[in-house]
Structure 1
Amino acid sequence: MGSPAESLKVAFEKEGVFLHTSTKRNHDQDTLIPGVIRILEKGPDTVVDWTPIGEIGEHTRFLYSKKDSTVNGGSHTEEEMFDPGYEPDWAVISTVGTRLRPLEDVQAAAQCSGAHSKWAFSLSLSELKSIRKNKPGLGWSYLIFISKDGISFPALHFHDGGTRALLKCLCKYVVLATSRKDPRLYLVYSHDSHALSQSFDELQLFDEHSSDLVSQADLGQRPTVQRQETLTAAEWTKHLDPEGRVQDAAELKKKIFKGGLCHSIRREVWKFLLGYYPWDSTAEERKALVKQKTDEYFRMKLQWKSVTEDQELRNSLLRAYKSLIERDVSRTDRSNKFYEGNDNPGLVLLNDVLMTYCMYNFDLGYVQGMSDLLSPILYVTQNEVDSFWCFTGFMELVHRNFEESQESMKEQLEKLALLLRVLDSALCDFLDSRESGNLCFCFRWLLIWFKREFSFPDILRLWEVQWTGQPCPNFHLLVCCAILDSERDALMNPNYGFNEILKHINELTMRLNMEDILCRAEAIFQQLAACPQLQRSVQEILGLAENTTPTPSSGSGSSPQALSPSQTQESELTDSASHSLPDSSIEILHTEDGTIESSQSP
């Protein structure tokens, strides 16, 4: 700190860096202290300096104890002082560059006093041991600087982005290496450090070739993708051997992905796509399977149909499921001719299949949104038993979306945020600046697989394309990216704030071109897959590299905790009268004139 004043230079500066003095989730001015972070060259020494803004005068330094510190007369432990109190967001890329500032400007900016001056700190890079970054989540990015003496300075929250630009600038003076034991921790070494050479193979360096840098990988030009013709009944038949086995299922899935299915064969092919029929089964084996699954279904259906009124009075969970299902069924796709009218047998089937699923999956039960997933399946299969087993196959893919913890939804939003940042950092920065960087407006897209964003016929095509698993895992995330890409110019309206962005996204419903979105999503995948510098975390999301992070499986020992009926959003529900529901399975058949007939299944 004793360097000659004339040698002082500003190598990096970023405003909008806040110190949170409270872990409470509020925006009280007393708990959010705005400041400026700088990297200052002071002769042979370089320091990182954070100063509160808005106060003029002599400022003092605040010392932090490794174990305890006194703030405003109160004693606080290190954890109490520096725990940000929430899961912050992905690091935001800053447009701030390295620049030199006149000496008098820096000296004037450094003069501060008052209630906030005690929070200012300055740390020489020679005394810097490590830097801890935030855990990816749903908030602001932050960094915590830790000295070689074990002093942890308070977390600095970058409300306007800039964490990675700061880290990149620091790499000019020191070596930053990601700890193998803690990927959120950067270890700091001097360029000639003996410790660095001794543990070089244990570290992942943060340098110009690191996938963790702010600079975006050169993705190259996005290719042009064209959709193909739908798979016809004749082509489907050609893929069946004399005994009814599907030949070359992998190639068949690629064709379905590229063009979808003609409607006449959906009823059959969806059973394969959703795991009801094994791809290598013969026609005779499938007949036996249907008989077995039919018996199994009606045994489960009988479990809830045989509950007496007295028993139901003592089963609050069953009553809640029944009430919630009746209300959801009464408003699911009622504009579709297949479900219109109060006495429509399709409504009866929706109700019965969902109630039976509660018997099939006691742990998950029924959660709002499931009726949206069943409706197109029932429309296509037109059979109660078939729709049930196809629905259970679909739920195997998405059941974690409906768990009470919502961990799966958080994970998907985090992965989506990472993909979008790689594809379009400018859009991400804009959304961050409008408090929309957590992509919460995509929640419904992911929860029910875009069911309410596209028309009913488009959803049939979109779902069968996604069920193929082509061309990669998490293709639905690329569909999200494609939608945002198509609306990029509209979203980046300088007059848009959080409310305007949310309103714009909601108004996209039924206005999106599904074929265009699928072309964009596939083109995005090809663009990313062709990038040799693509960071590993993105490769893992797209299945281009093995995922080393363990993820919960549907067959894990711990049962998922479903959202209970009492926790659903009652304000979204509408009252509906109870219907008298028949016991038997109903198969719905359409006559040539478009009317609906119902037949009792034996």
Structure 2
Amino acid sequence: MAGPLRVDEVVFAKNNVQIMMKNEPNSMVDGYLTIKKRVRSAGRMCSPPCSPPPSLTAHWIPNEKLARSIHSDGGYTFTVDLGKMRSLRLFYDNDKAKGQLVIASRENHFKVLHFPHGGLTQLLAVLQEWSLCSEQIGKPGKEKETDGHMRTFIIQQVALTDEQYHPEEGMFVRLAIDTWQAFHDSNGAVLNSSLIRRIVFFAGVDDAARPLVWPFLFGFYSFNSTREERLIVYRSKEEEFKEIERERISFLSECNEPSIRQVLRKLECDVLRTDRSSPFYSGEGNPNVECLRELLLNYTVYDKEMSYTQGMSDLLSPILSVLQDKVISFWCFTELMKKSQFLSSPKQAISAHLVMLRELIRLLLPEFYHHLALSSESMELVFCHRWFLLFFKREFNESDLLTLWECLWSGHLTEHFHLFIALAIIGVYGYDVLERRLPADEMLMHFTEQAKSMSSSLVLNHARGFLHQLSQYKLLPCSLESLVKQSKIWEDSERPSLVCSQQCEHTKATLVV
């Protein structure tokens, strides 16, 4: 694999940006500000969704020094790696293009840059596109407390070095329709399904190819099935779907049981507020909302024991919006429910997975583990519950979520990749938890406030990196037995030995040097 490539690109440039001199508190000096983006590519084929995140470096030089082309000592210049800062704040004057940029370091040092001649609008666009920072919206009820005159961006701490990325990071591009079709033989069977899963795991699927690829990832179609066999499968499942619909219509028209009626009312309420900001579900009288409702009602008849549980609408919604086929969407959803233990038996399933996650935190994020160990309440990892229940649905915007879900459903390397995604979220977005020593309740609030502002590319890069790091261990605690047995990361090497003690979560592991 080719070594990391780095490309510098100027993404922002503005003259007459002012800085106040330390020794002259009443003196403002005009200067030229540039912000350069450095893109790191792990290989020649790396595409944006799988690329490690870019860094931004700000450089300010006085106009006088710039004009004289002075490159020797003397004169004040200012250079800072924005990725190593704590936060960036934009304060606006009445004219929204003018104001100040306040750069805060993690040591609580501040640098104020003044923009008396505009430029903040363009700077805002740069920050909003930068995956290493997320805009802080504010606490409920206080979103408008600054009356729109301030925007705050929190810089996420990136813990991985080049060596800690997965060795295959950046070797693949997103799976496009032409590539997908090239994997089919003359009868329509998909060749080399393991390579398909590998591509999806590392790079994802193009929007246009998702309706074709997802039915295979969810198991509706077999990869080795021919076109004719898939047509037979579809017609058979369509007839079964119609029978479920008829049963649902008959059942609901005759059912007067209070408990069932209560479940149905909950379903109706959930559907009406699920993803209504998405273009696919927005607007009054949208038929897609009614379709979502009917599919969930069908499921209550299909699986009477489980019926409807809060959260199902969140999981079915993206599937329907991508596939846009009632029959395939319904059966892919049923496959997802078979794989998911979290909605059917949430307490037992989450408890088992939290045991494994705590071990992974202890091994791969020891500093965070030590903070958790200060409180038994913190060790409950309450902030992770929603992540597992909804497969991170509330943590990412729609586009990022689809890429993350594809990585999960690919089944490449491990069936427990959700644990590494959770680990990566903690590693990327948990820096302030450590620095501010947040207790359990504030920890929950901290991660909740990150909702919809997380970057899937950043998280997935870290998650795959953590997965690779785990593969270097010779000994692992027995509490990770399920993960070890159901993972393929040791296929080319000897599986680690499992060791136990009275407290399995505190078993020590030895790292291969």
The TM-score normalised by the length of structure 2 is 0.61
Question: Is 2:181 the partner of 1:237?
Answer: yes
Percentage of pairs with the same residue: 32
Query: Residue 371 of structure 1: which of 310, 313, 319 is its match?
Result: 313
Q: Show the counterpart of 1:387.
A: 329
Residue 443 of structure 2 aligns to which amino acid in structure 1?
I
Q: Show the counterpart of 2:395.
A: 453
The alpha carbon displacement at 1:245 in A equals 0.2
Question: Is 2:280 the partner of 1:312?
Answer: no
The alpha carbon displacement at 1:496 in A equals 2.2
Q: Show the counterpart of 2:113.
A: none
The alpha carbon displacement at 1:546 in A equals 9.9
Change (3 A) 1:405 1:482: closer
The alpha carbon displacement at 1:537 in A equals 3.8
What secondary structure is seen at the aligned counterpart in 1 of 2:279?
Answer: coil
The alpha carbon displacement at 1:330 in A equals 0.4
Residues of 2 paired with 1:441 and 1:221: CA distance? 30
**Where does 1:541-580 land on structure 2 (aligned, <5 Å)?**
541-542=483-484, 543=487, 544=490
Query: Residue 417 of structure 1: which of 338, 342, 358 is its match?
Result: 358
Q: Which has the larger radius of gyration?
A: 1
Residues of 2 paired with 1:483 and 1:458: CA distance? 14
Question: Is 2:238 the partner of 1:300?
Answer: no
Residue 257 of structure 1 aligns to which amino acid in structure 2?
F
Question: Is 2:188 the partner of 1:247?
Answer: no
Change (3 A) 1:245 1:495: closer
How many residue pairs get matched? 327
Residues of 1 paired with 2:497 and 2:218: CA distance? 24
**Where does 1:26-425 land on structure 2 (aligned, <5 Å)?**
222-223=164-165, 226-227=169-170, 228-307=172-251, 309=253, 311-313=254-256, 315-398=257-340, 400-404=341-345, 406-425=347-366
The alpha carbon displacement at 1:449 in A equals 0.4
Change (3 A) 1:429 1:495: closer
Structure 2 unmatched ranges of 5 or more: 1-161, 499-513
The alpha carbon displacement at 1:367 in A equals 0.2
Deviation per CA, 1:369-421: give whole Å up to 9, x if none: 010000000001111111101111111111x2123562111111111111111
The alpha carbon displacement at 1:536 in A equals 4.6
Residues of 1 paired with 2:470 and 2:318: CA distance? 32
Residues of 2 paired with 1:418 and 1:272: CA distance? 33
The alpha carbon displacement at 1:471 in A equals 2.0
Question: Is 2:431 the partner of 1:489?
Answer: yes
Query: Residue 498 of structure 1: which of 403, 415, 440 is its match?
Result: 440
Q: Show the counterpart of 2:411.
A: 469
Question: Is 2:480 the partner of 1:538?
Answer: yes
Residues of 2 paired with 1:428 and 1:354: CA distance? 40
Q: Is the 8 A contact 1:417 1:438 kept in 2?
A: no
The TM-score normalised by the length of structure 1 is 0.52
Residues of 2 paired with 1:404 and 1:237: CA distance? 39
What secondary structure is seen at the aligned counterpart in 1 of 2:295?
Answer: helix
Q: Is the 8 A contact 2:371 2:437 kept in 1?
A: no
Q: Is the 8 A contact 1:540 1:546 kept in 2?
A: no
The alpha carbon displacement at 1:321 in A equals 2.8
Residue 299 of structure 1 aligns to which amino acid in structure 2?
E
Change (3 A) 1:547 1:370: farther
Change (3 A) 1:405 1:488: closer
What secondary structure is seen at the aligned counterpart in 1 of 2:373?
Answer: helix
Q: Show the counterpart of 1:169.
A: none
Deviation per CA, 1:87-126: give whole Å up to 9, x if none: xxxxxxxxxxxxxxxxxxxxxxxxxxxxxxxxxxxxxxxx
Residues of 2 paired with 1:324 and 1:292: CA distance? 31
Question: Is 2:457 the partner of 1:515?
Answer: yes
The alpha carbon displacement at 1:263 in A equals 0.9
Residues of 2 paired with 1:280 and 1:547: CA distance? 35
User: Runs (4+) of structure 1 moved beyond 6 Å?
Assistant: none
Q: Show the counterpart of 1:438.
A: 380
Residues of 1 paired with 2:304 and 2:325: CA distance? 23
Residue 312 of structure 1 aligns to which amino acid in structure 2?
C
Question: Is 2:471 the partner of 1:529?
Answer: yes
Residues of 1 paired with 2:166 and 2:309: CA distance? 40
Q: Show the counterpart of 1:176.
A: none
Residues of 1 paired with 2:329 and 2:259: CA distance? 24
Residues of 2 paired with 1:236 and 1:306: CA distance? 42
**CA RMSD, Structure 1 to Structure 2 (Å):** 2.2
Deviation per CA, 1:49-78: give whole Å up to 9, x if none: xxxxxxxxxxxxxxxxxxxxxxxxxxxxxx
Q: Is the 8 A contact 2:175 2:205 kept in 1?
A: yes
Residues of 2 paired with 1:253 and 1:307: CA distance? 40
Structure 1 unmatched ranges of 5 or more: 1-219, 549-602
Q: Is the 8 A contact 2:166 2:468 kept in 1?
A: no
Residues of 2 paired with 1:515 and 1:423: CA distance? 20
What secondary structure is seen at the aligned counterpart in 2 of 1:386?
Answer: helix
Change (3 A) 1:334 1:528: same
Change (3 A) 1:420 1:260: same
Residue 208 of structure 2 aligns to which amino acid in structure 1?
S
Q: Is the 8 A contact 1:321 1:355 kept in 2?
A: no
What secondary structure is seen at the aligned counterpart in 1 of 2:424?
Answer: helix
Residue 300 of structure 1 aligns to which amino acid in structure 2?
I
What secondary structure is seen at the aligned counterpart in 1 of 2:327?
Answer: helix
Q: Is the 8 A contact 2:189 2:226 kept in 1?
A: yes
Q: Is the 8 A contact 2:368 2:434 kept in 1?
A: yes
